[in-house]
Chains A and B, each alone.
Chain A
Amino acid sequence: MTLEILTPEKKIYSGEVLGIRLPGIEGLFEVFDKHAPLVSALTKGKMKIIVDRNTSEHFNIQGGFVEVLDNKTTVLVEGATVVD
């Protein structure tokens, strides 16, 4: 699936990924390929991008929204920092 992560300052991620784990307002959840259309509010927490089976990237996010439509996931957050 295609993933895009946007903040008011800049686009911080764009590309094909396996899945993503997000801190939803009602708990952690994951989005994988061919997920049903979804709109959800996100809370402050850790976001994990699963690029492929062996690699993943971690971000600390400040809360925002996620939209999944037509196998395209867009994460809108107000601030995000990379975690090593």
Chain B
Amino acid sequence: MAGQLKEVRNRISSVQSSQQITKAMKMVSAAKLRRAQDAIIQMRPYAKKLQEVLSNIVSNTEGDVSIKLAEQRNIEKVLIIVITSDRGLCGAYNSNLVKLAKASILEKYHEQYKKGNVAIWNIGKKGYESLTKSGYKTSDTYKDIFLNLTFENVQAAAKAAMTAFENKEFDAIDIVYSEFKNAATQNFHCEQFLPIPKVEKKAGATKADFIFEPSKDKLIAELMPKILNTQLYKAVLDANASEHGARMTAMDKASDNANELLKILKVSYNRARQAAITTELSEIVSGAAALEG
């Protein structure tokens, strides 16, 4: 009896210390989330407008200028940039991203995959580990961006991707990442990075006759890389905020679960204690009765 009592007491204290850890992690994630969220929310209108300007130019200059980065080629070699987190303990966040990456390879690029022409660049350690284990052609060049999240680092990755596309090392580049919606919700996306997707022209809309200054070519040459840098940077910021949001939610749930567990354990602890007391009492009573008798 006493043995069981001690056992339950040990369980309770171990659950309590786990709960302390999950609570602390939740607080840390909440603080980090606030920072990540600010960065992404402030950055979003800028990125969106840049994208619009680009789309306007591309659809207004069709046939006039050849834009290397918008060139539609026969897709033979594919690159997928998968943005995951460096650390676990954030619920199904990483496994959802990996699942999406695998699904899009299977659906969109099945032919290319069979020929071994699908490459993956990983940003974030977790996705790298999991996809490498599954036997995909992964590269870890930009794996550690989250260790030092600056615009320059992301820019380097974007630049490398653009150069590779221009040199025809890849014919299509996709990004798999999760868009931050709120702390509890992430939207997982597989987005085309290159070639730049053309915007559908609105029905009935006349082609706006843009004045370009300086020349179209020069302008586009300057605009393109900036836009793509921003696009990738936005994806990375989104992913960062999503990660902290996912971790916060996961840790919140873990703390709740620990509470539930503690409740159950406390009931069984009290029951064991009660049983021990009852036994002891009856021993004393029967002992006394034996003496009297």
- Residues of chain A whose beta carbon lies under 8 Å from any beta carbon of chain B: 4, 6-11, 24-26, 29, 36-41, 65, 67, 69, 74, 76
Nearest residue (CB) in A for B222 is A41
Residues of B contacting A11 in the complex (Cβ-Cβ under 8 angstroms): 42, 45
Contact between chains at A76 and B49 (CB < 8 Å): yes
Residues of B contacting A39 in the complex (Cβ-Cβ under 8 angstroms): 53, 56-57, 210-213, 219
Residues of A contacting B56 in the complex (Cβ-Cβ under 8 angstroms): 39, 67, 69
Residues of B contacting A9 in the complex (Cβ-Cβ under 8 angstroms): 42-43
Q: Main SS of chain A's interface residues?
A: strand
- B67 within 8 A of partner (CB): no
Cβ contacts B192-236/A at 8 Å (1 or 0 each): 000000000000000011111110001100110000001001000
- B254 within 8 A of partner (CB): no
Report the minimum CB–CB distance from A8 to chain B (whole Å): 5
Residues of A contacting B45 in the complex (Cβ-Cβ under 8 angstroms): 6, 11
* Chain B residues bordering chain A, tally (CB within 8 A): 25
**When A and B form their complex, what is the total count of cross-chain residue pairs whose Cβ atoms lie within 8 Å?**
67
Report the minimum CB–CB distance from B150 to chain A (whole Å): 12
Query: How many angstroms between the C-alpha atoms of A9 and B210 in the bound complex?
Result: 28
- Residues of chain B whose beta carbon lies under 8 Å from any beta carbon of chain A: 42-43, 45-47, 49-50, 52-53, 56-57, 151, 208-214, 218-219, 222-223, 230, 233
Contacts A40-B219, A65-B223, A76-B49 given; indicate if A8 touches B214 (C-beta within 8 A). no
Nearest residue (CB) in A for B41 is A10
Query: How many angstroms between the C-alpha atoms of A24 and B211 in the bound complex?
Result: 13
Query: How many angstroms between the C-alpha atoms of A24 and B46 in the bound complex?
Result: 19
Query: How many angstroms between the C-alpha atoms of A7 and B219 in the bound complex?
Result: 19
Contact between chains at B46 and A69 (CB < 8 Å): no
Query: How many angstroms between the C-alpha atoms of A55 and B46 in the bound complex?
Result: 26
Contact between chains at A7 and B46 (CB < 8 Å): yes
Contact between chains at B50 and A26 (CB < 8 Å): no
Query: How many angstroms between the C-alpha atoms of A28 and B49 in the bound complex?
Result: 23
Contacts A39-B219, A40-B219, A74-B49 given; indicate if A10 touches B42 (C-beta within 8 A). yes
28 A–B pairs (Cβ distance < 8 Å), ordered by A: A6-B45, A6-B46, A8-B43, A8-B230, A9-B42, A9-B43, A10-B42, A11-B45, A25-B214, A26-B214, A37-B211, A39-B53, A39-B57, A39-B211, A39-B213, A39-B219, A41-B218, A41-B219, A41-B222, A41-B223, A65-B53, A65-B223, A67-B49, A67-B56, A74-B49, A76-B46, A76-B49, A76-B53
